[in-house]
Amino acid sequence: MRLIRVKDYAAMSDEAFAIVYERMSANPKLTLGLATGSTPVGLYERLVSAVQTGKLSFREARSFNLDEYVGLAPDHPQSYAYFMREHLFDHIDLPAGRWDIPSGIAPDLDEECARYEAAIEAAGGIDLQILGIGPNGHIGFNEPGTPLESRTHVVELTESTRRANARFFERPEEVPTHAITMGLGTILRAREIILLASGESKAEAMAKLLSLSDFDPELPASALHRHPEVWVIADEAALSRVRR
């Protein structure tokens, strides 16, 4: 695990973009694992700019998203499918058939999880996975107690995760109670991983993560200690409780 300490959110986004740009330039057929939420938006803005100025192309790339809310259709403004179109897919040249997001309205959710896992496998696996970290240390929607070997599955969201996501909904009761997420085992099969962290709200989780040297089920992000190629890019606020 290699830590890159940066000043702020903009610098974090710059560092992440530099890695993604280098990997995609070297391999235009890269398969990306993508995250949602406010953390990767700066990275996506930089990728959009690179495509629109002709410096980068996604025409041969593929992508798989980490997760999706159960019960939200792809055109729902708070669905992650909608988020990805708004912030990335509608502004780059990634063909529609080359990105995949779990369906939160599939009639059989277990079958959808199996389909998604098989699709990742059929694509040859994920080359570069982008992650954020939740205040309780979750990655994707893998909450504390998630088994290390877990694959794509349906999870009941904890109250703390629902509170953290309530700002995106008009009323707290509208926040979904379940989601489909790549499992920890799925994430760890990526060839390379970038974990992004910005802001004081991530400080406690980051302090716990960097104090550990192996997997602790109570901090799902600590699974990354089991992976040989992880970049952690975090700003001063997110690292404010970590000793230098």
User: Of the residues 112, 127, 143, 235, which is catalytic?
Assistant: 143
Is 225 assigned a catalytic role?
Answer: no
Q: Two tokens at 181?
A: 């997420």
Reply yes or no on whether 227 is catalytic.
no
Active site residue 149: no
Residue in 15, 67, 127, 235 annotated catalytic: 67
- What digits encode the pLDDT tens for the residues 191-202? 999 999 999 999
- H-assigned helices in the chain: 9-26, 41-52, 80-87, 109-122, 159-165, 184-188, 203-211
Whether the pLDDT of residue 170 is over 80: the answer is: no
Q: Which of 136, 153, 165, 235 is catalytic?
A: 136
CA angle centred on 196, ends 138 and 89, rounded to 5° = 95
Give dist(CA 202, CA 191) in Å, integer.
25
pTM of the model: 0.94
In the chain, DSSP assigns E strands to 2-6, 31-34, 62-65, 67-69, 99-100, 128-131, 153-156, 178-181, 192-197, 230-235
Q: What is the pLDDT of residues 15-53, one digit of tens each?
A: 999 999 999 999 999 999 999 999 999 999 999 999 999
Residues 98-128: pLDDT tens digits?
999 999 999 999 999 999 999 999 999 999 9
Selecting among 15, 117, 127, 138, the annotated active-site residue is 138
Write down all domains in the chain, each with its CATH number in brackets.
17-200 (3.40.50.1360)
Residue 67 designated active-site: yes
